[in-house]
Amino acid sequence: MVFVDEVHLPVVRDSDETLRSFQKEFIDCAKNTNANVIQLIAPTGAGKTLCFEKLMKDEMGVTHKTLLIYPTNALIKSQLERFTKDKKFRAINISSKILTKKGEERSRELYGLLSRYDIILTNPDIFQAIIGHMYKNLTGDLIQAFSFFKYIIYDEFHTYREFELSGILNQIGLFLNMSSCKVILSSATPKDEIIELLNLVRVGADRHPPQIERVDAKACSNNEGVVIRHKTKVEFRQGKIIDHIEQVVENLKEAVGNIEVNEPRILFIFDTVKDSNRFYYRLSSEYPELYKYAEKDNGYDTNNQDGYAQDFTKPILISTNKSEVGLDYPIKLLFMEDGFSIDSFIQRFGRAARHEPADCYIFTKKEANPLFSEDTVTYEQFFEIIKHITKDYNIQTKKVRTLFTFRQALAISDYKEQRKGDLKGFFAPESGSSYKLWLSFFSILNNRNKEDFVDRDLKRLNNFVTDIKKACRSLRGRSLQFPVVYQRGHEIRRTMYDVLSVLNQVPASVRKTKDGLEIVEEKSDASGPFIQAMTISYLPAPINYQKRNEQFRDEIDIIARNALDVFPEKQQKFLLFCIHSLCNSVEADRVVSPDEVILWNNKVIPLKTDALEFDND
């Protein structure tokens, strides 16, 4: 057991109000410096949202058009409630779900909403869809939405990985080139590589890198400032939460009796949706006296198809990494698995002790207790020690650079002449690798495809390139969403979820209905993985799903070498370099749409909607 001490932030007096020092520094930086990109670094609970509010409405009461971009819809929902509850802001959440029109009218609808409201909350996917020409917009004017805003805020910026970052960097480039705005990147766990990557963006007539400033919320001594985190008692247990369910239940029984039922005060954060679902079910079947106090909110629940609404007045909330960001309940008891990186760990730990002292049970993959020789450590010391048992995720900048320029070439290719010329200027090619490389790549393949004879391997290679293009037009790549029937506590429910993720994590059967294929989870404690292989239309044989990225690269390499054999030697080398760069920069799951998956029991599941045969047994 170890105690993690309080965290205090210094405060200053500004006009007639008291601000935390970093808040005043941030506001001054945003309003009074030439910086066009500001990194805001502050721990969870420090008060970053107040910084945003100060930009949205100034001291004269003037509202400035602001775009707030969040990584998850749950975070958008909670922030929208905060911004609108006192009616200080006229804000709207824009998502694909609120757009009702089709075709060209859909782009007009989106354009109208973006131009009409002063405060807009959304996800980065919509702006990537604009760049990727995914909306039918014959005039090409929808891209003007990048010029509407004075402030663009990407909150929880640490959540994006290489694939998403390559798109977001292009978004930032368009925002900065199409207006005199300022872009804010907010996070509790910054990455040093972000500065290097931001320098890929070019701004202004002379195409210079953005001017970047960084504002940090730095802690002060415990007898100064204001408390943003209270003391936390930490106990470590090795393994998963569900491995210690009897002990966890005893802790819950003791805690629940002392909590008033009005909002979550006890939080569980699991590494997987599967384990959170299993835990919730076991509460329902084995511990009904606790189950009545519990609610669950994970990816399955977000996409539920039954229309049920969760009850967030219950004291126990069971969740996954979905709750790593934005969740702001007064959590006094936290059960958390250690996540997949130190960034994930920090975010999870930050959910507790924001309003009062808390207890935290941390379930780790490696033994943690021997690392702590003192009874009490500071917040900073705690994470320095924890780094020894967690992974440090480093952004692979080479992948981002490749996809960054590839996405640029796609955008340029898709737009008409006037917009095409604008984008070429905004994306500012430099010496060396740039979008020009990919435009040449497209051109050589297209010219060859116009010839009367196209061999089988070249056709396969073109199918791969088409898949890459489809993936890169959207922010997060491709995903096969299927209906899933699963056990939710004592009930059977339906959701929409990624079919490969479900089939690999849980034993399941698949049945054909009048509306298409439907996955039905089966009760089992088997750990998986459960997908043995998958078939892809342009690969000659199924590939091992558990080694899919390596085998996918190997198979594409063979196809490419065979297909390019008819090209001049110089073009062969160039094209092969491009193919290898793409293969090394993407994960197969983000790119391909499998025809079939082969499960652990050798059952073949067809995933194409036009599959003619299906075994319902």
Q: List pLDDT tens digits, range 507-538.
A: 998 888 887 788 999 888 788 899 999 999 99
Percentages (nearest 5) of helix, strand, coil residues in the chain: 40, 20, 35
The predicted structure's pLDDT at residue 453: 67
Question: When comparing pLDDT for 236 and 45, which is higher?
Answer: 236
Task: State residue 268 phi and psi, 5-degree precision.
Answer: -110, 130
Per DSSP (E only), the strands in 239-273 are 266-269
Question: Is the pLDDT at 25 greater than 60, yes or no?
Answer: yes
Share of the chain above pLDDT 70, in %: 97
Question: Is the pLDDT at 119 greater than 80, yes or no?
Answer: yes
Range of the domain at 309: 230-386
Q: Do 408 and 379 fall within a single domain?
A: no
Q: pTM of the full predicted structure? A: 0.93
Residue 62 lies in a domain: yes
Q: Residue length, the chain?
A: 617
Domain closes at, from 184, 216, 248: 216
Highest mean pLDDT among 132-136, 243-247, 320-324: 243-247
Q: Do 367 and 403 fall within a single domain?
A: no
Question: Is the pLDDT at 609 greater than 60, yes or no?
Answer: no
Q: Do 247 and 211 fall within a single domain?
A: no
Q: Do 36 and 185 fall within a single domain?
A: yes
**Whether residue 529 has a cis bond before it, omega within 30° of 0:** yes
Q: Do 587 and 443 fall within a single domain?
A: yes
Residue 562 lies in a domain: yes
The predicted structure's pLDDT at residue 617: 27
Closest listed residue to residue 282, CA positions, set 242, 315, 251: 242
Q: Do 193 and 237 fall within a single domain?
A: no
The predicted structure's pLDDT at residue 85: 77
Choice among 269-283, 367-381, 407-421 with the minimum mean pLDDT:
407-421
Residue 147 lies in a domain: yes
Look over the chain and give the mean of its residue pLDDT values, rounded to a whole number.
Answer: 91
Question: Is the pLDDT at 612 greater than 60, yes or no?
Answer: no
Residue 572 lies in a domain: yes
Q: Do 425 and 562 fall within a single domain?
A: yes
Choice among 60-64, 276-280, 502-506, 584-588 with the minimum mean pLDDT:
60-64
CB 415 within 8 A of CB 423: yes
Q: Do 540 and 412 fall within a single domain?
A: yes
Number of domains forming the structure of the chain = 3
Domain closes at, from 185, 216, 247: 216
Residue 19 lies in a domain: yes
Domain closes at, from 386, 412, 441: 386
CATH number at residue 114: 3.40.50.300
The predicted structure's pLDDT at residue 16: 76
Residue 597 lies in a domain: no
* Mean pLDDT, residues 311-335 taken together: 91
Choice among 105-114, 292-301, 319-328 with the minimum mean pLDDT:
319-328
Element (H, E) at 601: none
Q: Do 205 and 58 fall within a single domain?
A: yes
Choice among 201-205, 409-413, 419-423, 513-517 with the minimum mean pLDDT:
513-517
* Mean pLDDT, residues 311-332 taken together: 90
Question: Is the pLDDT at 431 greater than 60, yes or no?
Answer: no
The predicted structure's pLDDT at residue 448: 86
Share of the chain above pLDDT 90, in %: 72
Alpha helix segments (H runs only) across 269-322: 273-286, 288-291, 299-302
Question: pLDDT tens, 556-567?
Answer: 999 999 999 989
* CB contact set of 267 (below 8 Å; sequence gap of 6+): 317, 319, 323, 327, 329, 331, 333, 334, 335, 336, 351, 352
* Mean pLDDT, residues 483-509 taken together: 92
Residue 126 lies in a domain: yes
Q: What is the rounded CA–CA span in Å between residue 398 and residue 80?
A: 36
Question: Is the pLDDT at 616 greater than 50, yes or no?
Answer: no
Q: Do 576 and 443 fall within a single domain?
A: yes
Q: Do 274 and 297 fall within a single domain?
A: yes
β-strand partners of 39 = 185, 214
Residue 103 lies in a domain: yes
Q: Do 347 and 450 fall within a single domain?
A: no
